[in-house]
């Protein structure tokens, strides 16, 4: 493997890792703060991709408007899911899981019916490519990596704000946070909106690079689950570290073992769980009873 190819694969891995990191960050935020296992998280990613596709290709607006529309619409849909379905299924942790599974099945099948099973391709938005010492870097991919990093940094500073502190307090202890005068229902809605909005915007980022497909939500959800298992349930730094790790493993694995790279990931995860049940940077996640 020569150096040029190596860097090419490395950059691809970072780009995939950036997408995983954004989806996993939203998922971890929801899991850590609300103690909800949002099974429909991948579907928000898929819908975000289709929103960007429709805004840019069908309405003919600029890509940036598509991304904003994806974020806003997915945030609203996330709030809908929280207010209308999840809130009434608090009878048990797993009842919520089952409800979100049903929700994801509904969304996925609706997308199949309305968009069809074919891949939807979009023209490259930032055409042209950067050539750094033999490494060819598409501008789309560069934009993806930069925006992913910017959004993750933005999320970090958001958690330092007053509302971010309130979210962390709710994550720590819901009841005590309520006694401190924090409106937990409001915080829940905000958390869900941010988490699902991040998923939607990352779906929008992937459209010019790959394609939009109704089943892509489930595919990325599997990867995000692997990321969460590796990083540790409910641990944000762990999720980010693991996301880039999984992205790199996948990118290099594709070079060496081809189609079997998902099997490779699974084979890496099982021993990891055996030796470190809490993931790389977490402790075993306790399910609220």
Q: Rule CB under 8 A: which residues touch other proteins?
A: 37, 85, 88-89, 91, 94-95, 97-99, 101-103, 105-106, 108-110, 112-113, 218, 222, 225-226, 228-229, 233, 259-260, 262-263, 266, 269-270, 273-274, 277-279, 284-287, 289
Q: Which of 205, 208, 216, 204 is nearest to 50 (CA)?
A: 204
- In the complex with other proteins, the residue whose CB is nearer, 2 or 289, is 289
Q: How many CB atoms lie within 10 A of CB 129?
A: 13
CB of 205 to other proteins, least distance (A): 24
- In the complex with other proteins, the residue whose CB is nearer, 10 or 264, is 264
- In the complex with other proteins, the residue whose CB is nearer, 110 or 176, is 110
CB of 98 to other proteins, least distance (A): 6
CB of 267 to other proteins, least distance (A): 9
- In the complex with other proteins, the residue whose CB is nearer, 79 or 233, is 233
CB of 277 to other proteins, least distance (A): 4
CB of 222 to other proteins, least distance (A): 5
- In the complex with other proteins, the residue whose CB is nearer, 158 or 260, is 260
Q: Which of 226, 238, 248, 218 is nearest to 17 (CA)?
A: 248
Residue reference for tokens 């599997």: 222
3-state secondary structure (DSSP) of residue 161: coil
Dihedral sign of CA atoms 53, 57, 58, 61 in order:
positive
Q: Which of 281, 120, 97, 124 is nearest to 215 (CA)?
A: 120
| d(C-alpha 77, C-alpha 70), whole Å | 10
User: What contacts 177, CB < 8 A, 6 or more positions away?
Assistant: 166, 169, 170, 184, 187
């Amino acid at each position: 493997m020569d150096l040029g190819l190596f860097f090419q694969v490395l950059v691809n891995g970072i780009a995939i890792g950036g997408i995983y990191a954004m989806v996993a960050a939203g998922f971890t935020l929801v899991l850590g703060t609300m103690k909800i296992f949002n099974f429909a998280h991948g579907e928000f990613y898929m819908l975000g991709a289709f929103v960007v596709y429709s805004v840019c290709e069908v309405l003919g607006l600029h890509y940036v408007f598509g991304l904003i529309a994806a974020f806003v619409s997915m945030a609203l849909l996330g709030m809908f899911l929280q207010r209308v379905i999840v809130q009434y299924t608090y009878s048990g942790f797993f009842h919520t899981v089952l409800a979100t599974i049903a929700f994801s099945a509904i969304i996925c099948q609706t997308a199949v019916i309305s968009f069809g099973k074919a891949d939807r391709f979009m023209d490259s938005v930032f055409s042209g490519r950067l050539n750094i010492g033999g490494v060819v870097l598409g501008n789309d991919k560069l934009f993806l990596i930069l925006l992913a990093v910017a959004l993750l940094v933005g999320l970090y500073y958001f958690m330092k704000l007053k509302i971010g502190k309130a979210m962390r307090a709710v994550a720590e202890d819901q009841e005590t946070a309520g006694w401190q005068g924090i409106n937990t229902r409001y915080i829940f809605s905000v958390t869900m909106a941010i988490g699902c909005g991040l998923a939607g915007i990352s779906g929008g980022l992937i459209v010019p690079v790959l394609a939009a497909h109704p089943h892509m939500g489930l595919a990325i959800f599997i990867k995000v689950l692997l990321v969460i298992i590796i990083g540790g349930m409910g641990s944000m730094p762990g999720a980010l570290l693991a996301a880039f790790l999984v992205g790199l493993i996948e990118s290099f694995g594709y070079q060496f073992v081809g189609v079997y790279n998902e099997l490779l990931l699974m084979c890496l995860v099982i021993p990891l769980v055996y030796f470190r049940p809490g993931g790389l940077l977490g402790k075993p996640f306790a399910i609220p009873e």
